[in-house]
Amino acid sequence: MKLLSNEVIKKYDYQKTRSKVNEFMEVFEENYFRYISVLPPSITSHLSEIKVQSSGFTSSPVERYVLKKIEKEEDFLEYLNIILSVLDNLTMEEQHFFKGIFFMGNTELVMEEQLQCADKTLKHIKKSCIIKFALALNMAILKEDI
């Protein structure tokens, strides 16, 4: 793939589209932190409470922890798989930009240095990346014709 042309980029409202992508990535970030924040219960203080149950009802703290951890992991992995499948269709520069900004929290100045490009080129990579990502997830917003 190549970067989107300026003509294609100009068809879309970049600010509104970027806002939609940011919202999507905020949900991903929340899912990630929910997933890694699910802590196991303290088993030493509850050893006397653990009983073997013959019914299918789960009530032990460890069982509830495992179920909650699995649920949060599924939410996180669902978003991650969507993101990774979209990133596979971007150019190397766009992938580097997206991962640097959204996963690593780098600034655009840092990305400019890492990609070894001028400000104008980075802006083109940024716009192409965000619009492609939004198009893949059907959240790109066309400019309103006046």
Which pLDDT score, from 0 to 100, does residue 41 have?
Answer: 65
SS3 track for 89-107:
CCCHHHHHHHHHHHHCCCC
Contacts of 12 by beta carbon, 8 Å cutoff, 6+ apart: 131, 134, 140, 141, 142, 143
Compute CA distances 93 → 19, 127, 146, whole Å: 21, 12, 34
pLDDT of residue 35: 81
Domain spans of the chain? Answer: 6-38+59-136
pLDDT of residue 75: 86
Confidence at residue 104, expressed as pLDDT on a 0 to 100 scale = 94
The architecture in CATH of the region 6-38+59-136 reads Orthogonal Bundle (1.10)
Question: pLDDT of the chain along its 146 residues, tens only?
Answer: 799 999 999 999 999 999 999 999 999 999 888 888 777 766 555 545 555 555 555 577 778 888 888 888 888 899 999 999 999 999 999 999 999 999 999 999 999 999 999 999 999 999 999 999 999 999 999 998 64
